[in-house]
Amino acid sequence: MIFLELPKRIEDTRALLRQFSEAGLRPLSRKYDLLEQKEMPEELYELSKLLGSGNRGGGRGAAKPGAGDEAGNRNANNMSMVVSSAEICWGDVGLFLALPNVGLGNAAVSAVATDEQKEEWGKLFAAMAITEPGAGSDSAAIKTTAVLDGDEWVINGEKIFVTDGYRSKQVVVWASLDPTLGKAAIKSFLVPKGTPGMTVTRVEHKLGIRSSDTAQIVFDNCRVPKANLLGNPEIAKTAEARKKAFGGVMQTFDNTRPMVAAQALGVARAALDLTYDLLKEKGIELDYEKGYHQMSAVENDLYDLEAEYETARLLVLKAAWMADNRQPNSRNASMSKAKAGRMGNQVALKCVEICGQLGYSKAHLLEKFARDSKIIDIYEGTQQIQQLIVARQVLGKSSSELK
């Protein structure tokens, strides 16, 4: 069963990260939002040292119950990461994504790499390159190829919308060993930045998360050592084995989707907290003892937003808890991402509306929270794709049966 109270060790971490976000990230928010990717947030190098060796990639599986956990109830790396992600994103989502030494590609390394690969690459800042011009939400449709030539893989293809693709130290690239075999032949490869044949061709200008870069990368006969393939290099021979093999590749998302959903929790909480501060300056404060008939329209809206936030928060915690306790969480991961992604954007936009001119003005960060929130409903699988995944699992349909 799931216990709704976080253990003390995670609560202590959450409190420290709130201080880190408030004192370290918030003062930099507007500066690097305006500069966009023109400058690397140099302050982040020192700030990231305060976070220690923690990895926001997740996916390391369950640990033994810690102090304060109930017997048999494990709150390990995944739970720690969603709570930590939410708190840092309360400070600034873009700066969270730009923090050196950790990235979404680290999740793939943690999920499928061997112990030797984790030791060599696990702590390096890694981006993850999946999306292509002709393959967005359908990861199985990617056209990038990897062909074994002696002791090296030769990678050819184009990737777009790679978060941290410009500043990262390495990129985890999804490529097919044999496009005729479909999704069963898709593997992930670790490509260090600076490898010949790998070129960052464009950095996007964006609505939100402007302090984090989003890049297009082209691979033209890019060669990496044979050992840079993550996971099992063999292509399954039977249909059932191929299905399981691609399921293993997709398992990365079961770890990362709750963490991306937690980003939406952080933005929504930030928007609500700032809204309360701005309203308080105008003499408006919430009173939870009021009856429904006594509430103003603004109060009613805020109570509804709090309810939406709490619903999403519990879904995210459950998905993380299931991962830590080695329970299949694919459906729950997608549910948490779908709910939190939409909630974060709706809450932030409604807070802008409630605060009127103060919400729309750059005098406060509320308008920035609204801009930053939209991408969370899109990347790591769009709202529509998450709903499709949930529908398939609820109805017991395959991807070919329900598109």
Q: Which residues, 6+ apart, have CB-to-CB distance to 99 below 8 Å?
A: 44, 47, 48, 51, 56, 88
Q: What HEC string does 349-390 produce?
A: HHHHHHHCHHHHCCCCCHHHHHHHHHHHCCCCCCHHHHHHHH
| Average pLDDT of span 381-402 | 92
pLDDT at residue 304 greater than cutoff 70: yes
| Average pLDDT of span 74-86 | 89
Q: What is the pLDDT of residue 158?
A: 98
Q: Which letter does DSSP use for residue 218 in this model?
A: E
pLDDT at residue 247 greater than cutoff 70: no
Summary mean pLDDT of the chain? 88
Going 338 to 343 to 344 to 348, the CA torsion angle's sign is positive
Burial class (CB in 10 A: 0-12, 13-18, 19+), 292: exposed
User: Rounded to an integer, what distance in angstroms lies between the CA atom of residue 96 and that of residue 263?
Assistant: 9
373 CB neighbour count, 10 Å cutoff:
30
Q: What is the pLDDT of residue 205?
A: 94
125-236 in CATH: which number?
Answer: 2.40.110.10
Pairing outcome for strands 229-230 and 198-203:
unpaired
8-109 in CATH: which number?
Answer: 1.10.540
Report pTM: 0.89
Q: What is the pLDDT of residue 59?
A: 41
89 CB neighbour count, 10 Å cutoff:
32
Q: Closest Cα to residue 323, out of 243, 253, 399, 389?
A: 253
Using pLDDT thresholds of 50, 70 and 90, give the confidence band for residue 141.
confident
Q: What is the pLDDT of residue 58?
A: 42
Q: Active-site residue among 204, 306, 380, 401? A: 380
Q: What is the pLDDT of residue 77?
A: 85
| Average pLDDT of span 333-361 | 97
The CATH superfamily of 241-395 is Butyryl-CoA Dehydrogenase, subunit A, domain 3 (1.20.140.10)
pLDDT at residue 210 greater than cutoff 90: yes
| Cβ atoms 268, 344 nearer than 8 A | yes
Choice among 240-244, 291-295, 328-332, 381-385 with the minimum mean pLDDT = 240-244
Active site (annotated) includes residue 120: no
Angle formed at CA 172 by CA 127 and CA 225, multiple of 5 degrees: 135
Using pLDDT thresholds of 50, 70 and 90, give the confidence band for residue 41.
confident
User: Rounded to an integer, what distance in angstroms lies between the CA atom of residue 173 and that of residue 155?
Assistant: 9
| Cβ atoms 315, 328 nearer than 8 A | no
Q: Closest Cα to residue 87, out of 236, 219, 254, 265?
A: 265
Choice among 260-264, 280-284, 331-335 with the minimum mean pLDDT = 280-284
User: Rounded to an integer, what distance in angstroms lies between the CA atom of residue 258 and that of residue 330?
Assistant: 10
Using pLDDT thresholds of 50, 70 and 90, give the confidence band for residue 122.
confident
The residue extents of the domains of the chain are 8-109, 125-236, 241-395
Angle formed at CA 126 by CA 125 and CA 130, multiple of 5 degrees: 160
Using pLDDT thresholds of 50, 70 and 90, give the confidence band for residue 52.
low
| Average pLDDT of span 373-388 | 94
User: Rounded to an integer, what distance in angstroms lies between the CA atom of residue 211 and that of residue 266?
Assistant: 17
| Cβ atoms 199, 180 nearer than 8 A | no
Using pLDDT thresholds of 50, 70 and 90, give the confidence band for residue 377.
very high
Chain centre to alpha carbon of residue 241: 29
